[in-house]
């Protein structure tokens, strides 16, 4: 039963992100703050990096400008096609890509000195298992870095309801308390957290999303009702008659 549930979810991710592959790579905000990830990871020209659920390679390509070698893995073939295109456009030679699942990661233990992932954990059914896999393939003393939306406990359910409507492959963003428990259990050392915000305009975001028919109107109403309330935790507001909002992204970094 668990395997069937995972397969159905994987199929939904592939369905969503095959359609999102090109718009995801060009949506304003998705290139923001990658330099911050690089700085916090401490990656240098001696590091071998794995980007888990790498999407169209935005993060992996930037890390490849610094690292010795970078590998990206994603379950969606169309995303890897876009990653290859980006790599060629940038003329990067120290990159390679795999189409595959993150459970388990198809790599030997201790294969990478830095294991990173961005905007992915809210798509995983078993976040603890994925984190454990990231740690397994990391070298002793290496870096594990995760960037994902994180919200206060009192706002996370409303946020997840909205995001599930927008993107049916969304499972759940975790609260600050849930992340603290997960990371403390993981055994990672020297844990640090910082945060930043990804600024979005609602209609542009909806154009790059593929909600079920009719759910786009539900999403608009949810945002309108949240202006001045902030039950979603994303500071929905009106700017020049457009609805803008801010994804609250936390970056967690630790050593194996």
pLDDT at 205: 92
Q: Are 175 and 214 in contact (CB under 8 A)?
A: no
Q: Is the pTM of this model over 0.85?
A: yes
Give the model's pLDDT for residue 16.
Answer: 78
Q: What is the 3-state secondary structure (H, E, C) of the chain?
A: CHHHHHHHHHHHHHHHHHHHHHHHHHCCCCCCCHHHHHHHHCCCCCCEEEEECCCCCHHHHHHHCCCCEEEEEECCHHHHHHHHHHHHHHCCCCEEEEECCCCCCCCCCCCEEEEEEECCHHHCCCHHHHHHHHHHCEEEEEEEEEEEEEECHHHHHHHHHHHHHHCCCCCCCEEHHHHHHHHHHHCCEEEEEEEEEEEEEHHHHHHCCCCCCCHHHHHHHHHHHHCCCCCCCCCCEEECCEEEEEEEEEEEEEEC
pLDDT (0 to 100) of residue 4:
76
> Is 5 exposed, middle or buried, given 0-12, 13-18 or 19+ CB atoms closer than 10 A?
exposed
Q: Delineate the domains of the chain, giving CATH numbers in brackets.
A: 2-152+169-197+249-255 (3.40.50.150)
Per-residue pLDDT of the chain (256 residues), as tens digits, is 577 788 887 777 887 777 776 666 665 556 668 999 999 999 999 999 999 999 999 999 999 999 999 999 999 999 999 999 999 999 999 999 999 999 999 999 999 999 999 999 999 999 999 999 999 999 999 999 999 999 999 999 999 999 999 999 999 999 999 999 999 999 999 999 999 999 999 999 998 888 999 999 999 999 999 999 999 999 999 999 999 999 999 999 999 9
User: Residue 94 has what pLDDT?
Assistant: 98
């Amino acid at each position: 039963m668990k395997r069937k549930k995972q397969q159905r979810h994987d199929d939904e991710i592939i369905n969503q992100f095959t359609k999102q592959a090109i718009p995801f790579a060009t949506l304003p905000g998705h290139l923001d703050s990658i330099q911050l990830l690089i700085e916090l990871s401490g990656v240098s020209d001696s590091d071998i990096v794995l980007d888990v659920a790498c999407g169209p390679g935005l993060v992996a390509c930037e890390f490849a400008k610094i690292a010795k070698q970078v590998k990206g893995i994603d379950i969606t073939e169309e995303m890897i096609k876009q990653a290859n295109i980006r790599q060629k456009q940038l003329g990067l030679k120290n990159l390679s890509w795999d189409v595959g699942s993150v459970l388990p990661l198809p790599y030997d233990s201790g294969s990478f000195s830095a294991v990173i992932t961005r905007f992915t954990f809210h798509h995983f059914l078993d976040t603890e298992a994925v984190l454990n896999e990231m740690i397994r393939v990391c070298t002793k003393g290496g870096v594990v870095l995760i960037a994902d939306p994180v919200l206060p406990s009192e706002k996370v359910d409303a946020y997840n309801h909205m995001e599930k409507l927008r993107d049916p492959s969304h499972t759940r963003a975790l609260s600050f308390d849930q992340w603290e428990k997960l990371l403390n259990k993981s055994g990672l050392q020297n844990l640090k957290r910082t945060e930043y915000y990804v600024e979005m305009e609602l209609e542009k975001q909806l154009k790059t999303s593929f909600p079920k028919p009719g759910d786009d109107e539900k999403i608009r109403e949810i945002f309108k009702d949240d202006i001045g309330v902030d039950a979603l935790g994303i500071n929905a507001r009106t700017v020049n008659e457009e609805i803008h909002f801010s994804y609250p992204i936390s970056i967690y970094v630790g050593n194996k």
